[in-house]
Amino acid sequence: MRRILVFTIILLLVGILLASCSGMEPVGQRTPVPTMPYATPAPPAGPGMLADRTSKDYCLVYAVDAIQAWVKAQMPEKEPFEYTDALGRSCTATFADISILFTQPNVWFPGALACTTCHGPDLPVSFAMMNLSDFHGILAGSRRASPDAKGNDILGGGQWDKSRLFQVFQTKWMPLGRPATLGEKGPLVLIGNPK
């Protein structure tokens, strides 16, 4: 697994270097190996914050704690689930709130890619053959040969501390490029609503 990651990073760096040395703008195209985009979106207003949100309208919660609350609530798609935010407030959120953590760039740290950059709906080129772009893709898991196939459960059957997703956050393996200073719970983000 590490060899694949190292090879992918080296391949990306060589591609970026060649594109910048040639004076040409890189052309984005699909390849068998997921690649990083050439342009990095502007960072949000603060680390882990979503720029257009305020703590009076949204709940302040660590990203991993928000995902954990959703998993412990048995992963509802449309129904709201409850949790307590970092300020001690009772809050509700839905999967739509959680999906932002997987689909939006710059949420985990400034310059962070969206998880879906590498784990998108095109399973043959998606790293770990896993789709984090929607509810059904997340529940279907990893190592899937086709969109309708069931893969390896990444949510621990609703037991967060036994889930593969928890393990990659705990070991700081993901998100890709994660700074050493980012704690195991990830950044504080503004999602969900106070009750």
Residues 52 and 82 placed together within one structural domain of the fold: yes
Residues 179 and 92 placed together within one structural domain of the fold: yes
Residue 21 has pLDDT above 50, yes or no: no
Residues 49 and 19 placed together within one structural domain of the fold: no
Q: 9 with 148: CB under 8 angstroms? A: no
Helix (H) or strand (E) holding 93, with range, is: strand 90-93
- Residue 171 has φ and ψ, to the nearest 5°, of -85, 0
Domains identified in the chain, total number:
2
Q: 171 with 93: CB under 8 angstroms? A: no
Q: 98 with 120: CB under 8 angstroms? A: no
Instruction: Determine what percent of the chain falls in helix, strand and coil, rounding each to the nearest 5.
Output: 35, 10, 55
- Per-residue pLDDT tens for 132-145? 999 999 999 999 98
Q: Is 111 left (phi over 0), alpha (psi -120 to 50) or beta?
A: left
Residues 102 and 183 placed together within one structural domain of the fold: yes
> Which residue range(s) make up the domain with 11?
1-39
Residues 94 and 30 placed together within one structural domain of the fold: no
Residues 91 and 74 placed together within one structural domain of the fold: yes
User: Rounded distance, CA 187 to CA 30, Å?
Assistant: 30
Residues 189 and 178 placed together within one structural domain of the fold: yes
Residues 61 and 105 placed together within one structural domain of the fold: yes
At residue 41, the pLDDT reads 42
Residues 68 and 160 placed together within one structural domain of the fold: yes
Q: State whether residue 91 is helix, strand or coil.
A: strand
Residue 82 CA, distance from chain mean position: 21
Residue 78 has pLDDT above 90, yes or no: yes
Q: 63 with 101: CB under 8 angstroms? A: yes
Residues 73 and 103 placed together within one structural domain of the fold: yes
> At 154, is the pLDDT very low, low, confident or very high (cuts 50, 70, 90)?
very high
Please count the helices (runs of H) and the strands (runs of E) in the chain.
5, 5
Residues 33 and 20 placed together within one structural domain of the fold: yes
Contacts of 132 (CB under 8 A, 6+ apart): 102, 103, 115, 116, 119, 120, 138
At residue 2, the pLDDT reads 66
At residue 70, the pLDDT reads 95
Burial environment of residue 28 by CB neighbours within 10 A (0 to 12, 13 to 18, 19 or more): exposed
User: Rounded distance, CA 75 to CA 79, Å?
Assistant: 9
User: Rounded distance, CA 74 to CA 95, Å?
Assistant: 11
Residue 126 has pLDDT above 60, yes or no: yes
* pTM summary value: 0.72
